[in-house]
Structure 1
């Protein structure tokens, strides 16, 4: 049995096969997912699993060099946005590598998800709780 934090087989495989600059999206329960992009649907019920818990688990096993969020996230859901920024700051400190943060409009964000290797859907019901991770390298 796998010993590390990430035990979901599909997510574990996705993380293990990421290359430098590959993108994955972690989203709330309502984000539309392009038909051609792999969907990893974790949503069980309202809030389960949460967006932030999912982010933490994926960060535990992957190196991220950049993230993209919708600008509306900071405006509409400031508490969740600040919590996410704190998680990213902690990750940057632990890995001693910067994480570049950029913002797009929500419409541009939805279009950008089409470039993702996969979209991980959570049970999150917080508006705009979505992020695109850009894979980094550990060396």
Structure 2
């Protein structure tokens, strides 16, 4: 049994398998996940676990070089600010929510949270540690 870090074996495997520029998504409970895309469902009940909580834990174990969110995240200013605060040294870009959803067909996995606030979704782009 692992002592530290992410205990979820599915998330641990996805992170260990990432190469440079590979991407994973973390989303709220309502984010539509395309057929054929790996879904890691963590949602237990409304708000559990929260989006920011999951992003925080994942980014502690992942080398992130870029973060993509939907432009519409502006309608959720608390989450948007927490993302900006968490990724101060990382490039951040925005797409329309429709374009964001299209990008989900090319991610290695989508981690679904119990978050119930609008547009609490991101795509994390893997960097390299050397």
Shorter-normalised TM range: over 0.9
Q: Which residues of structure 1 form unaligned runs of 5+? A: 93-98
Give the equivalent residue in structure 1 for 2:20.
Answer: 20
Q: Spell out, residue by residue over 1:26-84, the C-alpha distance to the aligned partner (whole angstroms, 9 max, x if none).
A: 0000010001110000000000000000001101111000111000002x101110011
Give the TM-score normalised by structure 1: 0.91
User: Counterpart of 2:69 in 1: which secondary structure?
Assistant: strand
After the TM superposition, list the runs of 4 or more consecutive aligned residues in structure 1 that deviate by more than 2 angstroms.
Answer: none
Q: Spell out, residue by residue over 1:9-28, the C-alpha distance to the aligned partner (whole angstroms, 9 max, x if none).
A: 00001100000000100000
2:99 aligned with 1:100: no
**Displacement, 1:118?**
0.4
Equivalents in 2 of 1:112, 1:131: separation in Å? Answer: 11
Q: Which residues of structure 2 form unaligned runs of 5+? A: none
Q: How does 1:1-139 map to 2 (within 5 A)?
A: 1-74=1-74, 76-89=75-88, 92=89, 99-139=90-130
User: Counterpart of 1:24 in 2: which secondary structure?
Assistant: strand
Equivalents in 1 of 2:87, 2:41: separation in Å? Answer: 23
User: Counterpart of 2:87 in 1: which secondary structure?
Assistant: helix
Give the TM-score normalised by structure 2: 0.97
The total of aligned residue pairs comes to 130
User: Counterpart of 2:93 in 1: which secondary structure?
Assistant: strand
User: Counterpart of 1:134 in 2: which secondary structure?
Assistant: strand
RMSD: 0.7
User: Counterpart of 1:125 in 2: which secondary structure?
Assistant: coil
